[in-house]
Amino acid sequence: MGLGDRPRPINLMKKRIHEVLGATIAILASCLIQAKQSNVLFIICDDLNVHLSAAGYDQVPTPELDGLASESITFTRAYCQYPVCGPSRASLLSGLYPESTGVLNNTVDIRETRPGTVSLPQRFKDSGYWTVGVGKIFHNSKFTPTEEAWDEFIKFTNDKHGIEIKAQAEFEAKNGSIDDRKNRQAWKAFLRAYSTQTHGQTPPGYGPTDLSDEQHMDGKNARQVADWLDNQSYGEKPFFIACGIQKPHVPFLAPQKYFDRFPLGEIEYDPIRLDDWEDIPEKAASLRFRPFGFEMSKENDSLRREYMQAYHACISFIDTQLGLVFDALKESGHWEDTIIVFTSDHGYHLGEHSMWGKVTLFEECARVPMMMRVPGMTPAGVKSDALVEHVDFYPTLLELCELDAASPLQGKSVVPLLKNPEMKGKNYAYTVVSRGQQLGRSIRSDRWRYAEWFDAENAELYDLKEDPKEYTNLARNPEYASRLKIMRKALAEAKQSAGRER
């Protein structure tokens, strides 16, 4: 290069200024992104156990949740505090154990048992978030807060499906309109007996429908969330969107195509052990298996397969609907600034220990699916075996969004686990359930589960490492006396702590 070809000093200076300005702008933009409050998408299913490929159960492919799991932390040992809808949701949405909420059944409102408690969505609304909910978040519409928690809340129902329309036509041809007051009770009884698809909860209904995805309430729920995101309904505010998925709660209804994915003959399960209840306290059982049509310690293979097929069809259906939500979040440009939480209110028995439904302290009932994706924090596709609880959601989301608690919380933030999934979680997870006016109580450690049904004489102790299905109760085995003493003391401490505000 000749002397005349060299760049002039002034050009070098301009180039350097442009580089510095560019870098400064990039840093400022990054700071603004970091300073912006994170959005939250909170998804809670109803009666969903861990029968998901995303949770390691290979009989039910869940590709949409698999995709979420591939970018999230999956907690393999997450537990609810009470395996019934109302008490569980009251606990999760308040960050308090059931003994502190006072909600120990489905008929009690936390606003009456513990006035002034600030729910999770209310805390976000008070902090300037646009808060909306769809579907089942709180237990029912009676217990759902309105203007203090939500900018908007919507509840959908299923469209009427063909079998119900046919049943109505047959009934009215003989009895007159179902709207006539004199026909109401007769119509309910007629519909309940018409087919498995028209059953309610007793006996639980199940079977395919002729409805499209968008005619089912969960199809409507997912599409409503997508609509909020597509139309940027939140405006300039950060958003807290709660999506309550109703399935797989009974009746187990879904479009036919989802049933076709689970041929009856291909369903696998562990048969009932005839001696299973010889060493388990009687109060540990829930009698919900009777409305399902089963008997204690007696297998009914064909009926069990039908119910499992229907339950799995519902899971496959909701997985597809959630795909619409995830796609809308990405298309709206908020995939990278939105915290996603996915869980269920509690687990669910499908014949294990002869049990059906909920209301037990066994692993199948107390354990819940749980995934969390925090952009820029959570490593992708990681599983954590740390013990975590539902009460931990509330303080975790507050910390992630840099908000203070407005009322006492008993949960513990899992943010350290989100940053480092190899860390140890809690020492114990605590779950309770009512039997009449008394509570059965249980704790789980990394290896052991211990339960008491009102007193230490009616106890359970399981080695979850050697006996993950909880078949052998060691509570009366003298070889485990020292372990029993440790777990009994830990349960007493958990009980005391759960009834005390922090």
What's the CATH code of the domain at 357?
3.40.720.10
The parent domain of residue 114 ranges over 39-159+211-422
Assign 73 to helix, strand or coil: strand
Give the CA angle between residues 260, 368, 214 to the nearest 5°.
40
Is the pLDDT at 30 greater than 80? The verdict is no
Residues in the chain: 502
Tokens found for residue 177: 């309109």
Is the pLDDT at 461 greater than 50? The verdict is yes
- Per-residue pLDDT at 166: 96
Residues 244, 361: Cα–Cα separation, whole Å = 24
- Inside any domain, residue 309: yes
Number of domains in the chain: 1
H or E stretch at 413: none
Q: Of 404, 360, 362, 369, which Cα lies nearest the Cα of 388?
A: 369
Is the pLDDT at 34 greater than 80? The verdict is no
What average pLDDT score do residues 469-477 get? Answer: 97
Identify the band that residue 16 occupies on the pLDDT scale cut at 50, 70 and 90: low
- Per-residue pLDDT at 145: 86
pLDDT tens figures, 185-225: 999 999 999 999 999 888 999 999 999 999 999 999 999 99
Question: Using H for helix, E for strand and C for coil, what is the string for 307-368?
Answer: HHHHHHHHHHHHHHHHHHHHHHHHHCCCCCCEEEEEEECCCCEECHHHCEECCCCCHHHHEE
- Answer whether 354's CB lies under 8 Å from 277's CB: yes
- Inside any domain, residue 298: yes
- Per-residue pLDDT at 18: 47
- Per-residue pLDDT at 23: 43
Is the pLDDT at 308 greater than 90? The verdict is yes
What average pLDDT score do residues 380-386 get? Answer: 96
- Inside any domain, residue 255: yes
- Inside any domain, residue 22: no
Assign 276 to helix, strand or coil: helix
What average pLDDT score do residues 377-391 get? Answer: 97
- Inside any domain, residue 202: no
- Per-residue pLDDT at 146: 83
Identify the band that residue 143 occupies on the pLDDT scale cut at 50, 70 and 90: confident
pTM here is 0.91
Is the pLDDT at 14 greater than 80? The verdict is no
- Per-residue pLDDT at 501: 55
- Inside any domain, residue 110: yes
Is the pLDDT at 35 greater than 70? The verdict is no
- Per-residue pLDDT at 147: 87
Question: How far is CA 222 from each of CA 72, 107, 262, 318, 329, rounded to the nearest angstrom?
Answer: 20, 28, 23, 9, 11
Is the pLDDT at 144 greater than 90? The verdict is no
The 10 Å Cβ neighbour count of residue 370 is: 27
Residues 366, 356: Cα–Cα separation, whole Å = 13
- Per-residue pLDDT at 265: 97
What average pLDDT score do residues 356-372 get? Answer: 98
Is the pLDDT at 86 greater than 90? The verdict is yes
From the number of C-beta atoms within 10 Å of its C-beta (0-12, 13-18, 19+), residue 228 rates as: buried
- Inside any domain, residue 81: yes
User: Residues near 195 by Cβ (< 8 Å), separated by ≥ 6?
Assistant: 163, 167, 207
> Which residue has 């350290």 as its token pair?
416
- Inside any domain, residue 125: yes
As a whole-number percent, the residues of the chain with pLDDT over 90 amount to: 89
Averaged pLDDT of the chain: 92
Q: Return the half-sphere exposure (C-beta side, CA atoms, 13 A cut-off) of residue 358.
A: 30
Q: Of 244, 401, 405, 421, which Cα lies nearest the Cα of 337?
A: 401
Is the pLDDT at 449 greater than 50? The verdict is yes
Question: How far is CA 480 from each of CA 156, 459, 489, 492, rounded to the nearest angstrom?
Answer: 52, 13, 14, 18
Least confident range of 29-38, 124-133, 153-162, 490-499: 29-38
Least confident range of 167-176, 352-361, 450-459, 492-501: 492-501
- Per-residue pLDDT at 448: 98
Least confident range of 34-43, 251-260, 356-365, 404-413: 34-43
